Structure 1
Amino acid sequence: MKSASKFEKFAARCWNLLNEGKPFTPIFTVGTMLLYHIGDMASPSFWLSFLAGLAVTLPLFVVYFIYDFPLFLRNYLWIPVVAFSIIGWEWNLSLMLFAAGLYFFFTILFWGTLYYHLRIGTSWLNFTRFWKLVLKNSDSTSGNAQEQLPKFLLLLSIWEYTTSLLSTGQDLPVVNMLSFYAGIFLFTFILHRYLFDWKPKMYEEYASELEGSSEAHSDKVVVIVVDGMRKERFQDADTPFLDSLKAEGTEFTNMETVYPARTVVCFSSMFTGTYPHEHGITSNMVWKLGIKVESIFDSLRKVGKKGRLLGVAHLVDSMGEDVETYTAVMHNDKADPTIMKKAKHIMKEQDPDLFIVQMIGTDQTGHSRGVLYDEYLQKIKEADSLIEDFVGWMKAEGKMEDTTLIICADHGQADGIGGHGHLDEGERFVPFIMHGPGIHKGRKVEARHSLVSMASTIAHLLGAPFPSHARGPVLEEAFKRKEEHRE
């Protein structure tokens, strides 16, 4: 299996500029204006009014970059658009239609059809379903039509309106514009201060290491992350092997992901034990490479042990050389089988004490085809079979005798392009199973826990110090007492 090339890593970072909603909005708005006015660019006077109009619109660009409007907050974005009309400022209908057409071309045809066909082999007819996902998505990505449309339509309208006034020598309605902006700033602040209240509660204190935590409780820990596996859809799927692991191990039924629930954020939090404000990874768009705190890999090195993470290219942005990459440019039906084949190779050749594997087929199916369809359940079923095969291979190699196995998702997934980030229904709570000789059999832990407990729990199992900023406590409910373990 090919590792992700330098070009793929670079391309993944560039693509996130168009994937994440914050950078997409200004990029799309500027690009649309340039395309719309391509015939005017030869005139120096045009550029003066065009750039002056951009400067006037810049404060609104800043507001929309700083603040997300996910889930139901997106509905309030239409109020400033309505206010623009009530004030009586002119709309440019042809520009609005051009922008809307360009947006749906990008999301439905370019992204949802061409991109996914070339990258993972979806059908050329994927657009027949993909338009529904663009309209349904509630997370702050570029594919959230209900958020992106009112944002870029208002930005374009103000920019075009001011450009038109300046190019014809008319005065700007400065007082009205200042009042309009002040109203938007106040409106946005109030919305996010009083209605943006669904973020998970964070652990305030750093985790306290358990007495005797320097003693290893397991020879190895294997973590398999089924990326984007929605909890209730996992319960609907045919997963006999994972069901057997639940019956013979401990299941955490209220395991909560972190906010925002984006892949690189979640992995960073799971394996540092802390939150985005502390480890520095706040979206899949990583502006500065590398986490700011210790990871579980750093903790293991302190006691002479080794950890490896087999994952997609953009996880390198967070955890660097501790990541063994694979290319994500392959047919989706081949992705997980190929990943698990490489996982066997790494385990055989490198024999790490901690091995983390990211399976991507389920997540890619949810993004490209939707989570409420049979294809998504089928991909979870395939993941179940592949995990069973990998564990069987580990047993045959003599590597499961004192190994703790953790199966989980990094986040759930809503129905829509992007599909996760801001904890819509189906995103917040994730499957989480622990299995091994030191793990209770048939136990269900219903108390709420967070994925940030992953790092402390792994450190406890492998006899390593906690990462420097680990806040999540050890998942003690899963562990047998020493005397039970001996039995």
Structure 2
Amino acid sequence: MKKASSFEKVAARCWNLLNEGKPFTPIFTIGTMLIYSLSKLGSPSYSLGLLLGLLAILPLLIIYYLYDFPLFLRNYLWIPFTAYLIIWDHVNLSLLFTGIGLYFFFTVFFWGTFYYHLRIGTSWLNFTRFWKLVLKNSDSTSGNAQEQLPKFLLLLSLWNLTIEKQTWSGSEIGVVVFFYLAILLFAWILHKNLFDWKPKIIPSFTSNVEERTDAINKKVIVMVIDGMRKERFEEANTPFLDYLRKNGTDYTRMETVYPARTVVCFSSMFSGTYPFEHGIKSNMVWKQGIKVESVFDTLRKVGKKGSLLAVAHLVDSFGKDVETFTAVMHNNVVDRKIIDRAKNIMEEQDPDLQIVQLISTDQTGHSRGVLYDEYIQKIEEADALVKEYFEWLKARGKLENYTFIVCADHGQADGIGGHGHLDEGERFVPFFMYGSAIEQGKSVEEKHSLVSLASTISYLLGAPYPSHSRGPVLIDAVRKDV
């Protein structure tokens, strides 16, 4: 299996500028206005007006960058646009329809059809479904039409008004300033009173069990089925994963972190702490590398090796501890290739900790939606591949003293399989442990967090906890006689 090239790593970072909702809004607004104004850019006076108009809307761009409006909060975004229509009663329909047309061209055809066809082999007819996913998606990404439409319609209208009006009296400027302050206050009030569903942060560092200097296990294997929604997993036919759950310890209320984006989740899972400490706050990483110790660092302290086989953008968190695979591959074969590469790594490097990220389920959710049969099919394929790898490890004597963990990093919501702000289907993830030191047939109903994974791995392998690990060791899964 090919590793992710340097070009792919850079391309993945660039794509996140268009995928993440915060940077997309200003990029799309500016791009739309420039395209609309192409025929007039030769005029110095118009170009100057264009620049002044951009400066005029800059405060609103900042407000919309600071505040996400995901899930039901997006419904309130139409209030500022309605207020604009009442106050100024000025609309350039050709500009707004240009923006709407460009938006749906980008999301439905460029992203949902062209991009996914070239990258993962989705059908050229994917647009026939993708438009419905964009309209339904509730997460704060560029593919959330109900959030992005009122944002850029207001921004374009104010920008165009500034250009066409040219001269403004002091009182008119005062109205604009008051309008922006009202939007800022409106956003602050909404987020203070309604944006209240984030998981509670564990206030203290890991202390429920003392660190071990002797290892319980020789190996820990973690299979992360990216984007596997818990309720859809329950509906799928997964005999091997069901066997591991029933004969190991199943955490029925394992909660992911906020925001539930892949790079954020992995950073938290393997450092044991939250974005405010490890520094990774979205898939769009401005400064590479987590700011705290990871489980890979603590394993090195005791002469052990950890391996993470994952997509290119996880290099942004863990650097050289990640062995990347290319994500530019047909979605029907990518997990197969990942398992083959995992076997090679185990044979060549024999790591004490191996983490393998399977991505086909997540990619199907994003490209085809989570409520369709294709998504269930990918979960069932993952079940067969995990079984194959487990049996391969066992046949080669790699499972003499081990813990085998299966989990998802986050779930996926309706629409384009969005995830980040913990809509229905995102918050709680499958998580179960199986192995020689793990309690059999146990179900833990108490709520736990994925930040406990790092400390639990360290405990099993006899390594110190990562420096900022907050998650309690999942000690109720460990047999008392080990």
Partner of 2:24: 24
List aligned pairs for 1:7-406, cutoff 5 A: 7-166=7-166, 169=167, 171=169, 173-208=172-207, 210-211=209-210, 213-406=212-405
User: How far did 1:171 drift?
Assistant: 4.3
> Does residue 418 of structure 2 align to residue 442 of structure 1?
no
Give CA deviations for 1:190-232 in whole Å, capped at 9, x if unaligned. Answer: 0001100000011010111623622211100000000000000
Identical counterparts, % of pairs: 68
The residue identity in structure 1 corresponding to 2:276 is H
- What is the letter of the counterpart of residue 52 of structure 1? L
- Paired residue type of 2:218: D
Please tell me whether the aligned partners of residues 279 and 290 of structure 2 are also in contact (alpha carbons under 8 angstroms). Answer: yes
Cα displacement string for residues 439-482 of structure 1 (whole angstroms, at most 9, x for unaligned residues): 00010000000000000000000000000000000001101012
**Partners of 1:250 and 1:391 in 2: CA distance:** 17
Q: Deviations over 1:135-183 (max 9, x none)?
A: 11111100000000000110111011011111xx454721211111111
2: CA distance, partners of 1:418 / 1:115? 16
2:83 partner amino acid = A
TM-score normalised per structure 2? 0.99
1:143–1:418 CA contact under 8 A, matched in 2? no
Deviations 1:59-102 (A, max 9, x none): 00000001100100000000000001111341111000000000
Helix, strand or coil for the counterpart of 1:223?
A: strand
User: 1:416 Cα deviation (Å)?
Assistant: 1.6
- Does the CA-based 8 Å contact 2:225-2:358 persist in structure 1? yes
Structure 2 residue 441 is the aligned partner of structure 1 residue 433: no
Change (3 A) 1:211 1:186: closer
Q: What is aligned with 1:480?
A: 479
**Superposition map of 1:443-458 within 5 A:** 443-458=442-457
Q: How many angstroms apart in 2 are the aligned matches of 1:56 and 1:417?
A: 34
Whether the aligned pair in 1 keeps the contact of 2:211 and 2:464 (CA below 8 Å) is: no
1:317-375 per-residue CA deviation (whole Å, 9 max, x = no partner) reads 11000000000000000010000000000011000000000000000000000000000
Q: Please, what TM-score do these two structures have when normalized by structure 1?
A: 0.98
Runs of 4+ in 1 over 2 A off after TM superposition: 169-172, 209-212
Gaps of at least 5 residues in structure 1 are none
Aligned residues: 481
Q: 1:170 to 1:202 in 2, by over 3 A?
A: closer
Matched position secondary structure for 2:335: helix
| 8 A contact 1:278–1:293 mirrored in 2 | yes
SS at match of 1:210: coil
Contact 2:288–2:317 under 8 Å retained in 1: yes
Amino acid at match of 1:113: T
For 2:67, give the aligned amino acid: Y
Contact 2:452 2:471 in 1 (8 A): yes
| AA in 1 matched with 2:450 | L
Residue identity matched to 2:201: M
| Structure 2 counterpart of 1:250, one-letter code | T
Q: Is the 8 A contact 1:134 1:417 kept in 2?
A: yes
Q: What is the RMSD computed on CA atoms of the aligned residues?
A: 0.9
CA distance in 2, matches of 1:261, 1:390: 27
Q: Which one-letter code corresponds to 1:34 in the other structure?
A: L
Residues 89, 161 of structure 1: 8 Å contact kept? no
Task: Give, in whole Å, the separation in 2 of the partners of 1:277 and 1:122.
Answer: 37
C-alpha distance in 2, partners of 1:303/1:221?
A: 15
Task: Write the distance in 2 (CA, Å) between the matches of 1:171 and 1:91.
Answer: 20
The residue aligned with 1:3 is 3
What 5-or-longer segments of structure 2 have no aligned partner?
Answer: none
- Aligned residue for 2:112, secondary structure, equals helix
CA distance in 2, matches of 1:170, 1:23: 30
What are the superposed Cα offsets for residues 22-47 of structure 1, whole Å, 9 maximum, x if unpaired? 00000000000000000111111112
How far apart, CA to CA, are the structure 1 residues paired with 2:314 and 2:414? 24
